[in-house]
Amino acid sequence: MRRKSLAYRLFVSAAIWTLVVVPAAAILLISLYRHSVERNFDARLNAYLTGLVASSTAEGGTTPTAPANLGEPLFTIPFSGWYWQIKLFKKGTPPLFVSDSLLDQRLWLPSVLGAEPDENLIYRAYMKGPEGQRLRVLERQIRLEGPNHRPYSYAVAGDAAEIEKDLADFTTMLIAALALLGFGLVVATLFQVRFGLMPLRAVREDLAAIRSGKAERLEGDVPVEIQPLQKELNALIESNREIVERARTHVGNLAHALKTPLSVIGNEARGKRTALAKKVLEQTEIMRTQITHHLDRARMVARTTALGSVTDVPEVLEGLKRALSRIYSEKGMEIVLECPDGMLFQGERQDLEEMTGNLMDNACKWGRDLVQVTVAKDASGEHLVVTVDDDGPGLDATERDRAVQRGQRLDETKPGSGLGLSIVADLAHLYKGEFALEPSPNGGLRAKLTLPAA
Question: What confidence tens digit (pLDDT) does each residue in 141-165 have?
Answer: 888 776 667 889 999 999 999 999 9
- What's the distance, CA 304 to chain centroid? 31
Q: Which fold would CATH assign to domain 311-452? A: Heat Shock Protein 90 (3.30.565)
Note the residue count of the chain.
454
Query: Which residues, including other chains, have CB under 8 Å from residue 167's CB and lie 6 or more apart?
Result: 30, 33, 34, 37
At residue 413, the pLDDT reads 42
Amino acid at site 203: V
152-159: strand order across its sheet: 95-98, 83-88, 152-159, 134-142, 122-128
Domain ranges, ordered by start, for the chain = 8-167, 227-304, 311-452
Question: Sign of the C-alpha dihedral, residues 144, 146, 148, 154?
Answer: positive
Q: d(Cα 240, Cα 444) in Å, to the nearest integer?
A: 43
Q: What's the start-to-end Cα distance of the chain, in Å?
A: 24
Torsion sign over Cα 177, 182, 188, 191: negative
For residue 305, pLDDT over 90 is answered with no
pTM of the entire predicted model: 0.51
Residue 416's pLDDT band (cuts 50, 70, 90): very low
Residue 426: CB partners within 8 Å, gap ≥ 6?
Answer: 296, 297, 300
Alpha carbons 376 and 390: distance in angstroms, whole number? 18
- Residue 434: beta bridge partners? 450
Per-residue pLDDT band for 218 (boundaries 50, 70, 90) equals confident
Say how far apart CA 358 and CA 421 lie, in whole Å: 7
pLDDT digits (tens, 9 = 90+) for 235-284: 888 887 787 777 767 776 776 677 777 777 878 777 777 888 888 888 88
Average pLDDT for 30-53 = 93
Q: Is residue 431 within 8 Å of 443, Cβ to Cβ?
A: no
What pLDDT is stored for residue 320 in this prediction? 92
**Residues 240 and 210 sit within 8 Å (Cβ to Cβ):** no
Residue 405: predicted pLDDT: 62
Q: Degrees (nearest 5) of the Cα angle 235, 236, 241?
A: 100
- pLDDT value for 279: 84
Residue 447: how many other CB atoms lie within 10 Å: 27
Q: Which of 249-258, 335-344, 416-425 has the lowest mean pLDDT?
A: 416-425
**In the prediction, which pLDDT does 302 show?**
55
Residue predicted with more confidence, 299 or 356 = 356
- For strands 370-377 and 334-338, give the pairing: parallel
User: For residue range 193-217, what is the model confidence (pLDDT) as tens digits?
Assistant: 888 878 888 888 888 777 766 777 8
